[in-house]
Amino acid sequence: MQSLLELLQDGRFHSGEDLGRILGVSRSAVWKQLQVFQGDLGIEVHRVPGKGYRLARPLSLLRSDQLAAAELPWPLRVMGSVDSTNVQAVRLFGDGCAPPFAVLAERQTAGRGRRGRPWVSPFAENLYYSLLWQVSGGMRQLEGLSLVVGLALVRTLHDMGVGTAGLKWPNDVLVDGRKIAGILLELSGDPEDVCQVVIGVGVNVNMPMTIAREIDQPWISMRDALGEPVDRNELAIKFSRHLQDYLQRHQSQGFSAFTSEWEQHHLWQGRQVALSSGAQPIVGMVIGVDSSGALRLMVDGGERVFSGGELSLRLHHDS
């Protein structure tokens, strides 16, 4: 399957006879596999007599050889289809894989975002990336970690040309008010000693707008922002390098070293927001974040601080 997709990923026409000769199979076998692509993976294939087959849209497939040649700070394990890269990373750790290592997948069948929301994960369109990272010294070493990962993502997107990318507390990256990436951290191990954290990142890379009906919030892809397709391998390489840099500095200096940088990239700095944690939202103006990554709001003339993974932040309608 992978070999056939690699031949077709350029979006050009290829004859069934040529494809079969290169792969060492019959034209009928090629056609059957293309039907699998359409039925199981949702990849649209055009068939034109006299020209052959082509994909409706070119693909940027993940390349294990290209990623390995980049000499990244941790191994990247590329998989075709998984339920969730976060879950797969935990499985591999349980099977004896030593951290740090990252899992990438062409698609997820049960991708998850914050608060248990599904993460739409079509085949070969986006970046689904989970790093299993080990920390000594207890959970306190993880303060502000999701915000630091957000900084690494923003730095990567800026390097790739998406210069308007910015942060929304606590775990989102936005472009022009629309979500382009999200972060999900999941912890295990001893909260007082050695613990593992899976840093899950999803980036909308080349996903077409036809998927919009499946997503319950405004979103944008890198392709939409840039006006051209994006190489997901290049994105994974750049992000891995930036993530290593930010994680190492966070480990040695703590989140307090990043508060100023984070606030500079926070798109809602100084804005009126509504923070939901229950039935009644709390309305206030964003002051910034504290040394642990908690959100600082000016509410009714006084400062209040909020933290927690179940909080939801929205711009207030009067902002």
Q: Give me the active site residues, please.
A: 114, 179, 314
Q: Determine if residue 86 is labeled as part of a ligand binding site.
A: yes
Q: Determine if residue 96 is labeled as part of a ligand binding site.
A: no
Cα 159–Cα 163–Cα 166 angle in degrees, nearest 5 = 105
Q: Determine if residue 179 is labeled as part of a ligand binding site.
A: yes
Q: Determine if residue 63 is labeled as part of a ligand binding site.
A: no
The three-class DSSP label of residue 19 is: helix
Q: Determine if residue 107 is labeled as part of a ligand binding site.
A: no
Angle formed by the axes of helices 145-159 and 232-253, to 10°?
Answer: 140
In angstroms, what CA-CA distances link 2 with 7, 80, 109, 191? 9, 9, 18, 41
Tell me whether residue 210 is exposed, middle or buried, using C-beta atoms within 10 angstroms of its C-beta: 0 to 12, 13 to 18, 19 or more: exposed
- Closest of 173, 135, 141 to residue 292, by C-alpha: 141
Please say whether the beta carbons of 122 and 42 come within 8 A.
yes
Q: Determine if residue 112 is labeled as part of a ligand binding site.
A: yes
CA atoms 11, 15, 20, 22: torsion sign: negative
Q: Determine if residue 84 is labeled as part of a ligand binding site.
A: yes
| Main-chain dihedrals φ then ψ at residue 78, nearest 5 degrees | -95, 125
Q: Determine if residue 304 is labeled as part of a ligand binding site.
A: no
Q: Please enumerate, by residue number, every residue annotated as part of a binding site for biotin.
A: 84-86, 108, 112-114, 179
Residue set of the binding site = 84-86, 108, 112-114, 179
